[in-house]
Amino acid sequence: MRRILRFGCIVGVLLIVCAVIFWVFVGSKLVGPLLALQPAGTAFMTAVKNGDYDTAYRLVGAEAQATFGNSPDGMKQLFQSNGWDTVSAWTFDSFSVNNSDGSLSGTVTLAKGTASLTLKLIQFGNTWLVTGFNAVFK
């Protein structure tokens, strides 16, 4: 009986050691970027909600700035013309990361109604920047 108990303890300790090693070498590299996406998306959406297009535009990646109107004022006009400027609430309920590309998906509540929301992001160093915004009314 003691032999079985000792064997069980050794196996348990080995499983814990393996789990820690896996987390250090693999898990943290997978989870870290995923956890950083949501704050970046939330910062962008908060700026849009507050009408702070200077901040929102600074959160857009340089290669995507043309699609966001080339300036904070251009971005504001783009969002107004699409009805995206009246954000009252949003949720992100799914996300994905592939190397330095990420996306957040969920819903956004606007004056016109609820829309499906997708934000595309790209990682530069430790910073995630928005490269795409799509809100499709349901």
Residue at 89: amino acid letter? A
Among 110, 124, 113, CA closest to 33:
124
Average pLDDT value for residue range 94-119: 89
Tokens of 129: 């920047």
Asked whether residue 131 carries a pLDDT value surpassing 50, the answer given is: yes
In a domain? residue 26: no
Asked if residue 82 is part of any domain, the answer here is yes
**Any idea what the Cα angle at residue 56 is, between residues 50 and 62, rounded to 5°?**
175
pLDDT class of 23 with cuts at 50, 70, 90: very low
CATH number at 50 reads 3.10.450.100
Read off the pLDDT of residues 26-40 as tens digits, 9 standing for 90 and up. 444 455 555 677 888
Q: Identify whether 65 is part of a domain.
A: yes
Residue 11, domain member (yes or no): no
Q: What is the pLDDT of residue 121?
A: 92
pLDDT digits (tens, 9 = 90+) for 42-78: 999 999 999 999 999 999 998 899 888 899 999 999 9
Entry pTM: 0.74
Structural domain boundaries enclosing 98: 37-137
How many domains does the chain divide into?
1
